[in-house]
Structure 1
Amino acid sequence: MTTQRAWVRMPSGRRLDLLDPTPFDWDDSDLALGLARTYRWGGHSKWPLPLSVAQHSITVMLLRRAASTEPLSPLQELRELLHDAEEGLVGFDAISVIKPFLGEGFKVLTSRLEHAVFLRYGLPAWTATEHRLHKVADRLAAASEAVHVVGWTPTEVRKTLKITVDPLERDPLQAAYGGTAWEPWPPTLACERFLAELHALLGKLKG
């Protein structure tokens, strides 16, 4: 294990070593706030606010739920909700095409954080089939965000971004929460709603 340390102090007062994380280094509110303050698309948006990873995570969970031919278990939904959780701990969502330029060290760092998240919340590893279905929902969310949040055209999404699914017209979050379709939520609201979804699923698992 490296002797280097990369400490992050959480709002709860807990300390997370990004290079050597454990499942006990944050609480749920720390994670929710971190995801609500971590932005997708490099922070770029045609709206007054950028889109948080917290909001994206709820979208993916709802899309995966809607696409399933049979009800997902609370654990499956929890894994969807937490699929980008490590980004909230490190405070950075790297645009996919730059990840190879960040090197092997960054890949190891994010893998360790993801492993700690899976341990903390008791998440099973993805099966090949489940991961494929997850990626369908994730790409559908990305295509829709690219058009409705960032401002790419559907043609640009396919030709420039190489996302080969058609963006949605209807925002799945609007049916669940109301408000203006595709509008990024303020960090406080994104944190509140993510934490509520997280605690609801954890409550079902305990029940």
Structure 2
Amino acid sequence: MSLRAVQREYGALAGHYDQRWKGYVAASTALAASRLELTPNEWLLDVGCGTGALLAQLHHREPSARLIGVDATVGMLLRARARLAPAVLLAESSGEALPLADASVHAVVSTSALHYVDDAPRALREMRRVLAPGGRLVLVDWCADFLTMRALDVVLRVVDRAHAHTFSSVDVQRLVTGANFERIDIAREKIDRFWGLFVLTARVPS
């Protein structure tokens, strides 16, 4: 099961994750933040928040926003807790079973997490469930439209049990549509010469 593999892998990585992936994390979370238009007192959920890099950016930008982060790995959450303000809420959870009530947040964001999820359609339905009418979704993840990412996907399926699937822009758009989102927009971005990402935004019907 990839969830247990993710917990093992990222539990071991947690202590040096920020330093090891500093450039990638900064660039990928900046892409997500650029698509989020937080307003005062809005509730936002970060699914797969890791060590809290994106939540820290968002809290600095809009301190009154009510931020929640969930991650499946306790070690990553401990790192996040150490860097984030006490007002930012954190919980251990997989993306397929979010510990929030229906229609309880205004925005959901997930950065570099979808390719670790066993059941991506279920995770997207969960994101849809917790979003209020008119709520916003922002996804940033590896994109199989890029040759480098297709090659990495092939390798990781063999050597890394934590890895589940790298989606193309067409595939992820189909999944998001199937989860009953609308106003879907998707772009492709490159970080350095290797990392190819999709950046998707969508809305819940009002």
Q: Is the shorter-chain TM-score for this pair beyond 0.5, marking a shared fold? A: no
Higher helix share: 1
Kindly name which structure, 1 or 2, has the bigger radius of gyration based on alpha carbons: 1
Which structure has the higher relative contact order (CA within 8 Å, separation 6+)? 1
TM-score (norm 2): 0.32
